[in-house]
Amino acid sequence: MASEPSAIAEQKAEAVDAKPLRADARRNRDRLVEVAVSVFAERGIDGSLEEIARRAGVGIGTLYRHFPTREHLVEVVYRREVEALCAAAGKLAQKHPSDVALEQWMQRFVDYIATKRGLATSLRIVLTTNSTLFSDTFGRVSQALRQLVEAAVADGTIRGDVDASDVLHALGGIYSAPDTPEWRDRSRRLVKLLMDGLRFGAAKAQ
């Protein structure tokens, strides 16, 4: 246990129930996910898998060995993004006053949803087919939000008569709103408006 090489620390989230990959396999797999993130971002969820393999510098066979179906790959990419979004909550909380952290996180939430619009149809299929994925996501996002809301309530920067689910409910409108050109601006304004409401209550109480 003494002199373990530091690489070990990096991947532990995935270490569940899977035997360790050979070095080249792990490298390629990571590479593929990395590239898939960009390709899906650029071309949408229907982006070509062959392009992903090409850009990652591996054969198409390798891609398919790691991710037997498109959905597998999509799921991994998706989970990764949700992960990043949730991890951002902790970091924002450290660097900013709690109300600002909440606001910035919600703005980031908007950005995140933005990348998902348009893909909605295909993504919905994946989410309906794989309901574990859906509930996992929902749970993680809720938890990140709860953390921020509770901190802000605790130190009085936002009003105390709301909880995380109220805020999540309010954000629901962002997700379900139609996909117009103004969507993004409208959503950013909605977040500000929501924050004003949350802060107002706090000011009043003080």
Q: Does 128 bind a second copy (CB under 8 A)?
A: yes
Cβ 73 vs Cβ 132: under 8 Å? no
Q: Does 69 bind a second copy (CB under 8 A)?
A: no
Q: Does 83 bind DNA (CB under 7 A)?
A: no
Q: Does 62 bind DNA (CB under 7 A)?
A: yes
Using CA atoms, how far apart are residues 150 and 66, in angstroms rounded to an integer?
40
Cβ 117 vs Cβ 45: under 8 Å? no
The least distance separating DNA from the CB of residue 58, rounded to whole angstroms, comes to: 3
The least distance separating DNA from the CB of residue 83, rounded to whole angstroms, comes to: 23
Q: Does 121 bind DNA (CB under 7 A)?
A: no
The least distance separating a second copy from the CB of residue 124, rounded to whole angstroms, comes to: 7
Report H helices in the chain: 23-43, 49-56, 60-66, 70-95, 98-116, 120-129, 131-154, 164-176, 183-205
Q: Which residues contact 182 (CB under 8 A, 6 or more apart)?
A: none
Chain residues in the site for a second copy (CB under 8 A): 121, 124-125, 128-129
Chain residues in the site for DNA (CB under 7 A): 21-25, 27-29, 46, 48-51, 57-62, 64-66, 68-70
